[in-house]
Amino acid sequence: MSLRWSVGSTVFVVVSLLVAAVPTEARSLYGAAPASLRFDGGGEGLLRGGTAERVVSLQNQGEEATTFAISLEGDAGHWLSVASDMVTVPGKTTHPLAITVSVPETAANGVYEALVRITPAVASHDAEGGASSTIVQEILVPIKVHVTDTQSLRLTMTRISVPDLEVGGKLFVELDATNDGNVAAAPQVNAIVHDETRTQQLAMVSGRAGGLAPQTSGRLMADLGTLTLPVGTYSIRLLASLPDGEVSGGGPRDLYFDVLPEGTLAMSFADIAVAFGDGKAKKGDLVPIRITFTNTGLSPAVVGFKGLISRDGQPFETFSIEAIETATGATQTLEGFWRAEKTGDYGLTGALTIGPKRVETAPSTLEVPVKKDSPAPAALSLVVALAALVFVARRRGSL
Amino acid sequence: MPFATLTVVALFFVAAFAPMGLGQGASAPRLGSVDAPAEVTLLSGGARKVPITVHVADRGAGLASIEVELIKHGRTYAAVDLEPGNDPLVWTGNLSLKHTTPAGLYRLETVASDGVRGMHALSQDVEILPLAALGTLETSVSFGETGPNGWLGPAKVTYRNLGNVPLAVALTASPFIHEDGDAEIMPEHLEVRVGGDPLGRAGEPITLAPLSVGSGGVLELWLYVPSGSSQYVPPGEYTGTVDLSSEGVS
């Protein structure tokens, strides 16, 4: 069944290899209970700085043992923790997965969402024909964390601006602000877009900026989404607000922005550096992958990373890091983690991704050497110990 | 005559609305305690046996049976007749719960009876936790072979909701990488169909129809191999990953 095609061939052979006879039971069956979690302190909410733990039963009802990668995502994902980000569950068994939430001291009141993503590590298989695919089942456990406490939520805006964008591009609002309160502040921005003469309303959009830590100043960005506007100048009325809080200088403000032809705002990045761990790792290590870059373009960008990890020169698996907003002139670090499950010489190639656009990054390598069962250290220790004994004995004899 | 009528009605009231403890006295059996979990996690695609242990306080004139029922909104979802062990005051059994038993708060009713005159009942709450579980028949699929500018498929993936809550299921795919690692077929070229009808291309996540409890479906995966003029497509084997993410919907 290893027929191969040659490019330009006019005779094609199509073989549909369906999976063998359909079994009566699922070969792959994973479950999680409860299907979702709510941390709410028994209905009254969790206090800032408080912790709570719940257990999810992770079920592997397949025949084979399966290793699951646990990742914690979402706005409150970094509040969550698990004992290990990899768990192996034998077939036909259940594993208690304890999930702990630690509410930061700076968290504002509200309901925060997170997601526990449970992904089975499925062994790749040899292709039996021209193309094949591994079927992976992920389980997503949505989590809500209800935070309540006494709080002071106050933000002072010192500057609001709207960068120009290209046709089909995203509309961002930049907010320079000072957080005068005692909790993190993430302002909501509502906007109405008009034509230049303000005679026609074209769109109502909104977005939320990232959080600003208490008693700090900084620049926040709110992503208001993609607008389908032709080239031209537009008026925008902005209002920044904080639910349950106060914003001074948040508007409403009337500003203008331009939609420019595609390609006008040269998108460029400089000082791109890729770190695949520190070049060496032990088998089983969790290896950080960091891509640092500076947005030297003329507009903010939402930048992610997609890469391919090769092992001993062969493609091994794909790797990606979620995109984050990067302001003009800002230096940003994308960070993800990858488990070195096997020994080998690994390579990482990839690209920064900005929507459909790609900026290739330099390749990086990682060596995961075979652990040698060398008796040398033990033997050496023995020799040193014997030498010490002889030395002490001689000294005592001489005394 | 009016007095006699009143007496009959009063007795009927007692019989109909006060079964617990009816017949208690010197001859009625009496339950002590019931050991049962307050929360039950079901088993994906199978049956969960929930152990029940009942401690009898008093066998009375003769304890004939102890029945345990799991009840919600007046409907019995599971029941078991317990058996006495070596100790005649300890009765045990397993409630068998299917994976489709709806999540929620139930009443566990335990009734001891002497079969003739007396009975005694205890009631307690048991919560069935929501279980999100998806099963597939396939762990890998092959598309077959073709030349450039051709379609491969269908590779079929059969899936089913084997938990007790509806599931939201989304499909994503990775690029299909050439065996030498120097070429790839992007997931935009993977088309997902159901019953022959296109559902979408996997360049973006594809949301499948919500899966109610016990329901399933068959996905037909078709892969388009681009023409050599549009991109570099060397002959060889290409492998990729199709990812089904499921999330319980409460």
Q: To which residue do tokens 């809500």 refer? A: A144
Question: Residue A129 to residues A125, A132, B152, B238: CA-CA distances in angstroms?
Answer: 12, 7, 10, 8
Tell me the C-alpha distance between A169 and A225, whole Å. 8
Would you place residue B202 in the very low, low, confident or very high pLDDT band (cuts 50, 70, 90)? very high
Q: Do A59 and B241 touch (CB under 8 A)?
A: no
Q: Do A133 and B146 touch (CB under 8 A)?
A: no
Beta bridge partners of B191: B201, B222
* The pLDDT of residue A19: 30
* The pLDDT of residue A24: 41
Nearest to A33 among B42, B156, B160 (CB): B42
Q: Do B45 and A94 touch (CB under 8 A)?
A: no
Domains of chain B: 17-128 (2.60.40.10), 134-248 (2.60.40)
Contacts of B2 (CB under 8 A, 6+ apart): none
Quick one: closest CA in A to B218, which residue? A22
Nearest to A129 among B142, B185, B248 (CB): B142
Quick one: closest CA in B to A62, which residue? B135
Q: Do B136 and A19 touch (CB under 8 A)?
A: no
Residues in chain A with CB shorter than 8 Å from the CB of B151 are 14
The tens place of each residue's pLDDT in chain A, 399 residues long, gives 233 333 323 222 222 222 333 334 667 899 999 999 999 988 788 998 999 999 999 999 988 899 999 999 998 999 999 999 899 999 999 999 999 999 999 999 999 999 999 999 876 555 555 888 889 999 999 999 999 988 899 999 999 999 999 888 889 999 999 999 999 999 999 999 999 999 999 999 999 998 899 999 999 999 999 988 999 999 999 999 998 899 999 989 999 999 998 877 777 888 899 999 988 988 878 889 999 999 988 778 889 998 888 888 877 888 889 888 888 888 999 988 888 878 889 999 999 988 767 788 888 999 988 865 444 444 455 555 566 566 556 655 443
Domains of chain A: 30-147 (2.60.40.10), 154-260 (2.60.40.10), 269-368 (2.60.40.10)
Nearest to A130 among B140, B228, B238 (CB): B238
Closest CA to A35 of B248, B160, B105: B248
Q: Tell me the one-letter amino acid at A247.
A: V
Which of B39, B49, B143 to mutate: most A Cβ within 10 Å? B143
Which of B41, B42, B182, B233 to mutate: most A Cβ within 10 Å? B41
Host H or E run for residue A129: none
Nearest to B176 among A18, A26, A131 (CB): A131
Taking the CA atoms of residue B108, residue B113, residue B118 and residue B120 in that order, the dihedral angle to the nearest 10 degrees is -20
Would you place residue B227 in the very low, low, confident or very high pLDDT band (cuts 50, 70, 90)? confident
Which of B142, B230, B242 to mutate: most A Cβ within 10 Å? B142
pLDDT at B5 exceeding the cut of 80: no
* The pLDDT of residue A356: 66
Q: Do A27 and B242 touch (CB under 8 A)?
A: no
Q: Are B144 and B153 in contact (CB under 8 A)?
A: yes
Complex ipTM tops 0.90: no
DSSP state of A381: H
First to last CA, chain B: 59
Q: Do A16 and B247 touch (CB under 8 A)?
A: no
Residues in chain B with CB shorter than 8 Å from the CB of A121 are none
∠A124-A130-A135 over CA atoms, to 5°? 35
* The pLDDT of residue B146: 81
DSSP state of A387: H
Provide the 10 A C-beta neighbour count for residue A67. Answer: 16
In angstroms, how far is CA A165 from the centroid of its own chain? 26
**Half-sphere exposure of residue B102, counting CA atoms within 13 Å on the CB side?**
11
* The pLDDT of residue B24: 44
DSSP string, chain B: -HHHHHHHHHHHHHHHH--TTTT-SSSS-EEEEEE--SEE---TTSEEEEEEEEEEEE-TT---EEEEEEEETTEEEEEEE-EE-SSTTEEEEEEEEETTSPPEEEEEEEEEE-SSS-EEEEEEEEEEPP-EEEEES-SEEEEE---SSEEEEEEEEEEEE-SSS-EEEEEEE--EEETTSS-EE-GGGEEEEETTEEEEETTS-EEPPPB-TT-EEEEEEEEEE--TTTS---SS-EEEEEEEEEEE--
Q: Do A33 and B131 touch (CB under 8 A)?
A: yes
User: What are B12-30's pLDDT values in tens digits?
Assistant: 333 333 344 444 445 789 9
* The pLDDT of residue A360: 85
Q: What is the pTM of this model?
A: 0.69
Nearest to A33 among B130, B139, B175 (CB): B130
* The pLDDT of residue B10: 39
Nearest to B250 among A36, A131, A308 (CB): A36
Residues in chain B with CB shorter than 8 Å from the CB of A310 are 181
Tell me the C-alpha distance between A195 and A188, whole Å. 23
* The pLDDT of residue A317: 81
Residues in chain A with CB shorter than 8 Å from the CB of B233 are 7
* The pLDDT of residue A374: 46
